[in-house]
């Protein structure tokens, strides 16, 4: 009995967790299949002074089907707690006696038996079976500290410090198990070395033992030794601990990145597939598909963000893997600032051009006045008059010159000449070398001579001479060269351009263009070349020395609109625009083809898109007049005077970039049904002033403007809309001819 009590007490010392188990004092009847949670069995041998311990797995569950008592076994005491307390006191005294003698070596052996009987236990151990009937030790319950246990541990630490003050309280436990399989029994031996060395720690925990387990290698027990008189069928269940799964941390995006990927209704990220995929309404706001569908079904038929009316049919699923909004606010701000700068630059260029034009006019007038002053001084020196007479004469001369220069000169009506009774007159041109004005008209005798031709008018006596047939269809362009041979270039809708000699009144050369021709002109730098503007926007270049085909075709860069006007700009020693080439005007805009070494290089001029009806050139001052029909932005006919400019490219002497900018704008009526031709020319006063004359269909007149200040100088009335205007010089007299469908009116500058 004492031996068994010592075994139980030693078990509490080696494993403190066993001493704190809950003890059940209820007595189970025999054969009731009770479940006992027992500590490993202990056996102490006096001969070897070794302590044999069973396996120390804390989770062994032993199921006892039946318990048989050995014969002669004494019944369990009624007060089990008193019996356990007395056993623990005796075992504590025995442990103190052994610890004072020498270090103890503990060997733990676990004996495996495959049969129920055969236990070599003493008869005294049968009392443990009776004791187990009163106590059910559950190893799965938590450890509850008791005051008795704390007092016992304190007493043990005090006693050990008395007996061996120089020895260390640290103990080394080496546990090894070897499992052997076979038909009989297998024994696992673990050696535990307990060496008392250094002194115990200053303040150890009350629940800790003085044994420091350094290395433990153990296996779960396979059997529990029981007395021979008790048959214990064992069922051992092993509980394994599942390792705790480490959760990966959730990656949280910054607020600025996360806000653009979440639904505005549920504040959850939308997906690119599934029920919560990215969707949008007509207003452009983004949501998850299921969220916005439930929102609209719930009766709120409005967008959650802008409150615009919406319905389920307005939901559009967006197929996008990622969605990011590009911040273009800075770009839009730069665009607005660029447009503002460009508008200010155009305004400054316009003011600069006006100032240059005014300076040129004033310079010419100043030079004229200086010349008059020099002439007056010479006259005074020759006649030798007195000083007072000189002063009075100079004042009268200067006042006369100022009045003449600033006087209101105008065109006065001279004569009206009937050209055709049936009408259909279209264009006219003037040959200065022959003082001859030609006008296109249909044949007066269509039965004998069908087609169209020209009627010659003498500018000297303002009488018509004769009709010259040229084309089979309507003539759209007439032009004279700067040569004195009287060759007339004509373009018509019969797919031909022709050269006609006014001296012999015969056609000397015909070129077939393959398409209707709308305009034509001569090359001022080389009179051997002529240009023909076609209906498809192309310009054909012909050499008079080659009578077969065109030598080159200038293909339009943009739209293929008909070429309504062709004007050649000659080369000039000018810093503003020294280039020479042909200026092509279409219904969509203008392009300047620079000619250099018989090669052409295009320069698109920055004109307003659409609505262009005519472009005329003033070659001396490098100005051109662009006529626009009424449009969306302007409900009236406008004539814009542009100045041609050029800039060198990459500091090259021969490479230029040609452009133009507006100088002055002239407004006319609100009607423009015909493709009329206007005129820009120098003033008959020879003071450098430029005059602009354009027809006005609304008032059936020709309006004359001053280009310097844009004032309307004169309005020349007509019976029908003016189709063409031609200034001319006849015997040192400046005259102006206006053409309608039936007649010509001649005006003289006075």
Place of tokens 């007490």: 9
The tokens of 3 are what? 């031996």
* Percent above pLDDT 70 for the chain: 64
DSSP 110-178: EEE-SSS------GGGHHHHHHHHH----TTSPP---HHHHHHHHHHHHHHHHH-SSSBS----EE---
Residue 41: predicted pLDDT: 47
DSSP states of 422-456: S-----EEEETTTTEEEEEEE-S-TTTS-SEEEEE
Contact 455, 463 (CB under 8 A): no
In the structure, what pLDDT confidence band is assigned to residue 148 with cuts at 50, 70 and 90? low
What is the per-residue pLDDT for 143? Answer: 45
pLDDT for 365: 81
pLDDT-derived band at 358, boundaries 50, 70, 90: confident
Q: Where do the structural domains in the chain lie, given as residue ranges?
A: 2-216, 259-317, 420-555
Torsion region of 300: left, alpha or beta (phi above 0 gives left; psi -120 to 50 gives alpha): beta
pLDDT of 42-71, one tens digit each? 444 444 444 444 444 444 444 434 334 444
**In this predicted structure, what is the pLDDT of residue 99?**
63
- Predicted TM-score (pTM) of the model is 0.50
Q: Provide the 8-state DSSP code for 588.
A: S
The fold adopted by the segment(s) 259-317 is Herpes Virus-1 (3.30.40)
Angstrom distances, CA of residue 43 to CA of 52, 225, 715: 5, 10, 141
- Residue 626's closest CA among 609, 645, 640, 608? 640
Query: Is residue 231's pLDDT more than 80?
Result: no
**Binning pLDDT at 50, 70 and 90, where does residue 412 land?**
very high
382, pLDDT greater than 80? no
Place of tokens 């039936």: 742
Which pLDDT score is estimated for 326? 76
- Please report, rounded to a whole number, the percentage of residues in the chain having pLDDT higher than 90: 32
Residue 126 and residue 2: Cα distance in Å, rounded?
Answer: 13
Instruction: Convert the pLDDT of each residue in 723-743 to its tens digit.
Output: 999 999 988 889 999 999 999
Q: Minimal CA–CA distance to 70: which of 4, 130, 19, 119?
A: 130
Domain 420-555 has CATH 2.60.34.10: no
Dump pLDDT digits (tens) for 657-711. Answer: 899 989 999 999 888 889 999 999 999 988 888 999 999 999 999 999 998 888 9
pLDDT in tens, 97-128: 776 554 444 444 444 444 444 444 444 444 44
Average pLDDT in the chain: 73
Q: Which range scores top for mean pLDDT: 35-49, 371-385, 598-612?
A: 598-612
Q: Which of 697, 701, 728 is closest to 713 using CA atoms?
A: 701
Q: Are 131 and 230 in contact (CB under 8 A)?
A: no
Q: Measure the CA–CA gap between 298 and 622, rounded to whole angstroms.
A: 73
- Collect all residues with Cβ–Cβ distance below 8 Å to 418 and sequence separation of at least 6: 742, 743
What does the pLDDT look like over 622-667, one tens digit per residue? 899 999 999 888 888 999 999 998 888 776 667 888 999 899 999 9
Please check the confidence at residue 205 and state whether its pLDDT lies above 50.
no
**pLDDT tens per residue, range 235-250:** 434 444 455 545 444 4
User: Which residues on adjacent β-strands are paired with residue 583?
Assistant: 567, 592
């Amino acid at each position: 009995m004492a031996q068994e009590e010592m075994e139980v007490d030693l078990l509490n010392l080696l494993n403190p967790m066993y001493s704190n188990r809950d003890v059940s004092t209820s007595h189970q009847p025999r054969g009731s299949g009770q479940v006992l949670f027992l500590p490993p069995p202990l056996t102490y041998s006096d001969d070897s002074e070794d302590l044999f311990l069973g396996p120390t797995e804390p989770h062994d569950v032993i199921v006892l089907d039946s318990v048989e008592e050995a014969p002669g076994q004494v019944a369990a005491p009624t007060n089990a707690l008193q019996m356990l307390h007395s056993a623990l006191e005796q075992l504590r005294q025995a442990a103190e006696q052994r610890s004072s003698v020498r270090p103890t070596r503990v060997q733990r052996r676990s004996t495996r038996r495959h049969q129920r009987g055969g236990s070599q236990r003493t008869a005294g151990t049968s009392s443990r079976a009776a004791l187990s009937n009163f106590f059910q030790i559950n190893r799965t319950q938590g450890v509850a500290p008791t005051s008795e246990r704390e007092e016992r541990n304190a007493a043990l630490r005090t006693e050990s410090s008395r007996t061996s003050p120089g020895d260390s309280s640290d103990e080394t436990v080496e546990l090894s198990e070897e499992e052997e399989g076979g038909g009989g029994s297998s024994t696992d031996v673990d050696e535990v070395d307990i060496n008392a060395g250094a002194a115990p720690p200053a303040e150890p925990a009350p629940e800790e033992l003085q044994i420091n387990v350094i290395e433990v290698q153990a296996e779960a027990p396979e059997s529990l030794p029981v007395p021979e008189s008790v048959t214990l069928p064992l069922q051992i269940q092993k509980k394994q601990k599942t390792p705790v799964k480490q959760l990966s941390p959730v990656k949280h995006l910054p607020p600025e990145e996360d806000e653009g990927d979440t639904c505005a209704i549920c504040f959850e990220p939308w997906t690119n597939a599934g029920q919560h995929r990215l969707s949008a309404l007509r207003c452009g706001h983004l949501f998850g598909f299921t969220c916005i569908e439930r929102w609209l079904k719930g009766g709120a038929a409005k967008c959650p963000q802008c409150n615009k009316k919406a319905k389920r049919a307005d939901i559009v699923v967006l197929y996008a893997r990622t969605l990011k909004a590009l911040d273009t606010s800075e770009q839009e701000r730069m665009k607005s600032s660029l447009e503002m700068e460009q508008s200010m630059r155009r305004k400054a260029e316009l003011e600069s051009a006006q100032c240059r034009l005014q300076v040129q006019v004033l310079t010419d007038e100043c030079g004229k006045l200086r010349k008059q002053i020099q002439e007056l001084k010479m006259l005074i020196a020759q006649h030798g008059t007195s000083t007072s007479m000189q002063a009075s004469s100079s004042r009268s001369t200067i006042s006369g010159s100022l009045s003449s220069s600033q006087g209101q000169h105008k065109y006065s009506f001279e004569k009206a000449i009937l050209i055709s009774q049936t009408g259909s007159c279209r264009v006219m041109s003037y040959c200065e070398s022959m003082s001859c004005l030609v006008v296109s008209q249909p044949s007066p005798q269509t039965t004998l001579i069908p087609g169209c031709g020209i009627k010659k008018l003498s500018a000297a006596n303002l009488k018509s001479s004769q009709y010259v047939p040229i084309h089979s269809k309507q003539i759209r362009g007439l032009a004279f060269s700067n040569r004195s041979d009287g060759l007339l270039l004509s373009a018509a809708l019969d797919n031909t351009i022709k050269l006609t000699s006014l001296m012999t009144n015969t056609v000397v050369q015909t070129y077939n263009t393959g398409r209707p021709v709308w305009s034509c002109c001569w090359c001022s730098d080389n009179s051997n070349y002529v240009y023909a503007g076609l209906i498809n926007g192309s310009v054909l270049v012909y050499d008079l020395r080659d009578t077969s085909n065109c030598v080159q075709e200038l293909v339009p860069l943009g739209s293929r609109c008909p070429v309504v006007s062709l004007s050649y700009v000659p080369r000039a020693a000018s810093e503003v625009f020294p280039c020479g080439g042909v200026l092509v005007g279409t219904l969509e805009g203008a392009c300047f083809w620079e000619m250099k070494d018989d090669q052409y290089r295009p320069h698109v001029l920055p004109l307003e898109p659409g609505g262009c009806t005519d472009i005329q050139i003033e070659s001396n001052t490098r100005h051109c007049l662009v006529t626009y029909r009424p449009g969306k932005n302007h409900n009236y006919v406008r004539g814009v005077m542009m100045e041609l400019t050029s800039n060198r490219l990459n500091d090259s002497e021969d490479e230029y970039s040609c452009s133009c900018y507006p100088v002055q704008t002239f407004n006319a009526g609100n009607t423009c049904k015909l493709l009329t031709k206007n005129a820009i020319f120098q003033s008959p006063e020879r003071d450098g002033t430029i005059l602009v004359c354009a027809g006005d269909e609304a008032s059936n007149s020709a309006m004359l403007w001053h280009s310097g200040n844009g004032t309307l100088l004169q309005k020349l009335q007509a019976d029908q809309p003016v189709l063409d205007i031609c200034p001319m010089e006849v015997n040192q007299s400046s005259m102006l001819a206006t053409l309608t469908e039936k007649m010509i009116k001649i005006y003289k500058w006075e």
